């Protein structure tokens, strides 16, 4: 068996078929928390946080333990990374001890540098640019409620709000990879980087998906299967609260905006949520919201992702199903 080192740094690091394989594996973990235990011994996965976290911290910690491994959780304040030790040196050290590296940090260049110097899989647990683990969980939630992984291709989704952030970018790339009709709406000045939109369009051409970027929230939401939003002020932007809130009021997900979506459309939010800002309580606490399943699915999706990456590295196809 010959293995292949793979990383998950951005959503398009996997192909359409590979994304499906990971999500199918996620569905199996949903049904049986111990579907695979690839670690079966005291192997560690380093899980590093340069930013705060509740869901990512708990789901990776518990997930690695359930896979039979040991989660070594490292906070920026308690590590030499936080004192300026080079990323490459950290990668060289961790790669000799751990079976995987999961990292939440700032610039995408940092996880890329980690991966370039590691000989174990590196997973992006959120950067300023992307949050691929979250979107795997979100798509697993769609599969859970809307007819399985086969139903994802051709589905329409809309993300409304700060469309210049990591979640918008990840929905564009992951949605195009899945073959979805992806729509993203935000105010001028808070739209996605054109290079990411171009990447998503290029992928959509191969999967039968489509991509719409607009400043019109009603156009984006019209007839979709699921509406997503996120905070208007991401981690690291706390000082911009005043300037960031004003442009977004027309993009609040409320009952009026949801009425443009399909009658049975779902609502998802990566959390943490700010009720009365990007979403009203009537929506996030209402009957269309599946945010608690979405949060739980972080656990199943990430266990699937880690198992898949380990299966690829070991060349062990039995771990891919
Ligand atoms: N959605 C998400 O990543 O949550 P945390 O910031 O709590 O990890
Ligand atoms: N866009 C948000 C996502 C939090 C999970 C942030 O980066 O803070």
Q: What is the pLDDT of residue 258?
A: 98
C-alpha distances in angstroms, 59 versus 21, 49, 144, 294? 20, 13, 18, 12
Distance from residue 75's CA to the centre of ligand 1 (Å): 15
Range 294-315 average pLDDT: 98
Give the tokens for residue 117. 């110097």
Each residue of 32-66: pLDDT tens digit? 999 999 998 779 999 999 999 999 999 999 999 99
Q: What whole-number distance in Å separates Cα of residue 273 and Cα of residue 232?
A: 10
Percent pLDDT > 70 in the chain is 100
Q: What is the pLDDT of residue 296?
A: 98
* Ligand 1 near 126 CB (within 6 A): yes
Each residue of 194-231: pLDDT tens digit? 999 999 999 999 999 999 999 999 999 999 999 999 99
226 is catalytic: no
Q: How many helices (H) and strands (E) does the chain have?
A: 12, 9
Distance from residue 28's CA to the centre of ligand 2 (Å): 28
Q: Give the global pTM.
A: 0.98
- Going by C-alpha positions, the residue among 147, 148, 152, 205 that lies closest to residue 178 is 152
Q: Can you spell out the DSSP letters for 218-282?
A: HHHHTT-SEEEE--SS-TT-GGGHHHHHGGGGGG-B-HHHHTTS-TT-EEEE-S---BTTTB-HH
Q: What whole-number distance in Å separates Cα of residue 88 and Cα of residue 92?
A: 6
Q: What is the pLDDT of residue 39?
A: 93
Q: What is the pLDDT of residue 245?
A: 83
32 labelled ligand-binding: no
Confirm if 266 and 142 have CB atoms less than 8 A apart. Answer: yes
Out of 35, 36, 104, 300, pick the active-site residue. 104
Q: What is the pLDDT of residue 131?
A: 98
Strands 122-124 and 100-104: parallel
> Which of ligand 2's atoms lies nearest the C-alpha of 162?
1
Each residue of 111-145: pLDDT tens digit? 999 999 999 999 999 999 999 999 999 999 999 99
Give the tokens for residue 176. 């195009």
What domains appear along the chain, each with residue ranges and CATH number? Answer: 7-131+298-319 (3.40.50.1370), 134-294 (3.40.50.1370)
* Ligand 1 near 81 CB (within 6 A): no
pLDDT of 1 > 70? The answer is: no
Q: What is the pLDDT of residue 94?
A: 97
Percent pLDDT > 90 in the chain is 95
Range 147-157 average pLDDT: 98
Q: Which residue puts its alpha carbon closest to atom 6 of ligand 1?
A: 53
Q: What is the pLDDT of residue 2?
A: 74
Question: Which phi and psi angles does 108 have, rounded to 5°?
Answer: -60, -30
Out of 298, 300, 302, 313, pick the active-site residue. 298
Q: What is the pLDDT of residue 244?
A: 87
Range 149-168 average pLDDT: 98
Confidence of residue 174 (pLDDT cuts 50, 70, 90): very high
226 labelled ligand-binding: no
> Which of ligand 2's atoms lies nearest the C-alpha of 235?
8
13 is catalytic: no
Q: What is the pLDDT of residue 40?
A: 82
Q: What is the pLDDT of residue 251?
A: 98
pLDDT of 88 > 60? The answer is: yes
pLDDT of 268 > 60? The answer is: yes
Q: What whole-number distance in Å separates Cα of residue 80 and Cα of residue 90?
A: 8
Confidence of residue 242 (pLDDT cuts 50, 70, 90): confident
* Ligand 2 cavity residues, CB under 6 Å: 126, 165-167, 230-231, 234-235, 270
Q: What is the pLDDT of residue 41?
A: 76
């Amino acid at each position: 068996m010959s293995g292949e080192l793979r990383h998950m740094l951005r959503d398009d690091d996997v192909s359409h078929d590979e994304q499906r394989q990971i999500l199918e594996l996620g569905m199996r973990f949903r049904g049986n928390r111990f579907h695979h235990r690839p670690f079966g011994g005291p192997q560690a996965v380093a899980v590093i946080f340069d930013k705060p976290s509740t869901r990512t911290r708990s789901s990776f910690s518990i997930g690695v333990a359930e896979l039979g491994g040991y989660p070594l959780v490292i906070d920026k304040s308690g590590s030499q990374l936080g004192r300026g030790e080079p990323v490459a040196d950290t990668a060289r050290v961790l790669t000799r001890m751990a079976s995987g590296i999961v990292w939440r940090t700032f610039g995408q260049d940092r996880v890329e540098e980690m991966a370039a110097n590691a000989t174990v899989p590196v997973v992006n647990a959120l950067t300023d640019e992307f949050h691929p683990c979250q979107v795997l969980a979100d798509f697993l939630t769609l599969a859970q409620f809307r007819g399985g992984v086969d139903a994802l291709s051709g589905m329409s989704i809309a993300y409304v709000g700060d469309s210049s952030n990591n979640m918008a970018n990840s929905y564009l790339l992951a949605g195009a990879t899945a073959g979805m009709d992806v729509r993203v709406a935000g105010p001028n000045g808070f739209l996605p980087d054109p290079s990411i939109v171009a990447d998503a369009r290029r992928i959509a051409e191969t999967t039968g998906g489509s991509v719409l970027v607009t400043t019109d929230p009603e156009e984006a939401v019209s007839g979709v299967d699921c509406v997503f939003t996120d905070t208007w002020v991401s981690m690291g932007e706390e000082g911009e609260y005043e300037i960031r809130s004003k442009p977004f009021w027309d993009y609040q997900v409320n009952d009026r905006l949801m009425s443009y979506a399909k009658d049975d459309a779902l609502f998802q939010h990566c959390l943490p949520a700010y009720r009365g800002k990007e979403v009203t309580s009537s929506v996030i606490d209402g009957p269309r919201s599946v945010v608690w399943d979405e949060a739980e699915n972080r656990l199943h999706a990430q266990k699937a992702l880690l198992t898949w990456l380990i299966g690829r590295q070991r060349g062990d196809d039995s771990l891919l199903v």
